[in-house]
Amino acid sequence: MADLASFETKIGYVFNKKELLEQAFTHRSHLNENRSAGREHNERLEFLGDAVLELVVTEFLYAKYPDKPEGDLTAYRAALVNTVSIADAATKLGINEYLLLSRGEARDMGRARQIILANAFEALIGALYLDSGYGTAKSFIATQIFHKTDEVVEKRLWQDAKSKLQEIAQEKHGVTPTYKLMDQSGPDHNKVFVVGAYIGEEKVAEGSGRSKQEAEQDAAQKALAAKGW
């Protein structure tokens, strides 16, 4: 694990309670291999940070787009706080260097790592909130997330991938795509779902996410890419 002081320098905030920052970067799998570490894993902080992130982004969008209906604002928010978006923000902060993981998790650099990074980003928000309050957490989120908004809206990145896939599949093949749950893992409050997107009998792509809906959207997005649509 890299020196946490260097991370504090990177985000421009020094924690009063260093153990909160350490906990934010501690994955459950690390404690399974290091039971005497005297640490807590980050799932409770992630639970808190997820709620703070959603409130801050909702408040921002409500003020930024006074004429947009609730449905549009919900779609924008989903695009800003989904796993891909916040894992990207975590990657740009170099959070990967600071994670405490089991040896097995440390080797996996695929979709599972993306979800771990997203969870750690939310846990970090929870840690900032507990250490210094809503204002500090809000400032951090503003710096890391808000700049994505204009691109999300202008490029229609918020558009529902499932709707787009359905529209094109019906037009080209006369069928409606279906989604099948392939796998689910993790504790109840932090499950990872894997879903297959099918057009007729053909499995076109698999997607994953922290809810079935997010996994279906991810699968639809990958199916669109696989089909060149």
Q: Which domains does the chain have, with CATH numbers?
A: 4-154 (1.10.1520.10), 161-227 (3.30.160.20)
Residues with catalytic function: 50, 122
Residue-wise pLDDT for 57-111, tens only, equals: 999 999 999 999 998 999 899 889 988 899 999 999 999 999 998 887 777 666 6
How many angstroms separate the first and last alpha carbons of the chain? 42
**pTM score, whole prediction:** 0.75
Element (H, E) at 198: strand 192-199
pLDDT at 155: 74
Query: Residues with Cβ < 8 Å from 205, sequence gap 6 or more?
Result: 196, 197, 219, 220, 222, 223, 225, 226
**pLDDT for 164:** 84
Q: What digits encode the pLDDT tens for the residues 131-157? A: 999 999 999 999 999 999 998 888 777
